Amino acid sequence: MQVDALAIRLRQRSNGEAADLGVRLCQHAARSVFTCYLAVALPIMLVCLALIEVAAWLPTVAIWLAKPWLDRTILYVLSRAAFGQATTPRDVIRARREIWWSQLLRSWTQRRLSPWRSLTGPVYQLEGLRGARQRKRVRQIRAGKSGAGLMVTSAFGLAELAITMSFVSLFVWFAPQGMAPELWELLLDSENQTSIQFVFALAYAITVAFVEPYYVAAGFGLYLNRRVELEAWDIEQELKRARAR
């Protein structure tokens, strides 16, 4: 671990501040994060939306299911951004074996159900441990921080809900003059389940495309803070500086 190379100011932070630092990191690396993430996510989402042909409820569920797998690309970019490195889609493709194909089954099943996946995700993806050692390490990272992980998940879950509903409202707002009441009728009409589900799925897809990187980043912030706490990175950096003087 090259503590000196970190592009983040190391200090002990409260859980809330640690999550905010993650968001700040995502803002800082927004160009890398969003180009790489959208390059992967947009095709997946188009496929998910196309599933409307199979069943009206399927697109939303499919996007929701795909999130832990999509998170892996974001986390890869963020983990490099923490060291001040920019990432292009080409870098992601080069590392595809580690990002996309590793732990594939678990990403779609067990991780999906984890209520603190953004906190534990970095252990699974970045630390390269396996089996019992991995489980032990996850327990260590989570100790006393599960609540914080849960808080991040629920806060961003609520944010997702709010922004999805905002997009649905905008859809009605921008209806041609005089059409709005009929549009609501159309949306709420039980006969028209497919059209209403599609509007929601589309709004959800746009929301996930925007919010997910910030959620992953907030969890990554918690993870970094936990390691600063466990391994006293801040002290190590200070000591190295003092020795260099």
Partner 1 sequence: METLDTVVSAETPEGIAIELRPAGLGARCFAYLIDQLVRFVILYAVALPLSFTGRFGYGILLIVMFLLAWIYPVVFELSRWGATPGKRLLGIKVVMDNGLPITPAASLTRNLLRTADFLPALYGSGIVSMLLRRDFKRLGDIAANTLVVYQPEAAPKVALENVEPRPPVRPLDPQEQATIIGLAARASRLTPERMDELAALAAWVTGDAGRSGPDVTRRVLGVAQWLLGRR
Distance of closest approach, residue 54 Cβ to partner 1, in angstroms:
29
Does 227 sit near partner 1 (CB under 8 A)? no
C-alpha to C-alpha distance for 96 and 130, rounded to whole angstroms: 19
Which one of 62, 92, 99, 152 is in contact with partner 1 (CB under 8 A)?
A: 152
Interface positions, 11-70, toward partner 1 (CB under 8 A) = 11, 14, 16-17, 19-21, 23-25, 27-28
Reference 216, options 79, 66, 62; nearest CA is 79
Which one of 61, 86, 104, 170 is in contact with partner 1 (CB under 8 A)?
A: 170
With a CB cutoff of 8 Å and minimum separation 6, the contacts of 115 are 149, 150, 153
- Tell me, residue by residue from 175 to 214, as one string, x for binding to partner 1 by CB under 8 A and - for no binding: -----------------------------------xx--x
Q: At what angle do helices 58-81 and 117-126 cross, to 10 degrees?
A: 60
Dig out the tokens for 123 from the structure: 């252990």
Check residue 145 and report its DSSP letter. Answer: T
Backbone angles phi, psi at 120, to 5 degrees: -90, -20
Which one of 44, 163, 187, 199 is in contact with partner 1 (CB under 8 A)?
A: 163
Stretch that binds partner 1, among 53-61, 121-129, 155-163, 176-184 (CB under 8 A): 155-163
Using left for φ > 0, alpha for ψ between -120 and 50, and beta otherwise, residue 143 falls in beta
Does 231 sit near partner 1 (CB under 8 A)? yes
Does 244 sit near partner 1 (CB under 8 A)? no
Distance of closest approach, residue 100 Cβ to partner 1, in angstroms:
26
Backbone angles phi, psi at 170, to 5 degrees: -60, -40
Alpha carbon 214 to chain centroid, angstroms: 6
Distance of closest approach, residue 212 Cβ to partner 1, in angstroms:
11
Which one of 39, 95, 159, 186 is in contact with partner 1 (CB under 8 A)?
A: 159
C-alpha to C-alpha distance for 179 and 54, rounded to whole angstroms: 29
Backbone angles phi, psi at 2, to 5 degrees: -90, 85
- List residues near partner 1 by CB under 8 A: 6-9, 11, 14, 16-17, 19-21, 23-25, 27-28, 84, 151-152, 155-156, 158-159, 161-163, 165-170, 173, 210-211, 214, 218, 229-232, 234-236, 238-240, 242-243
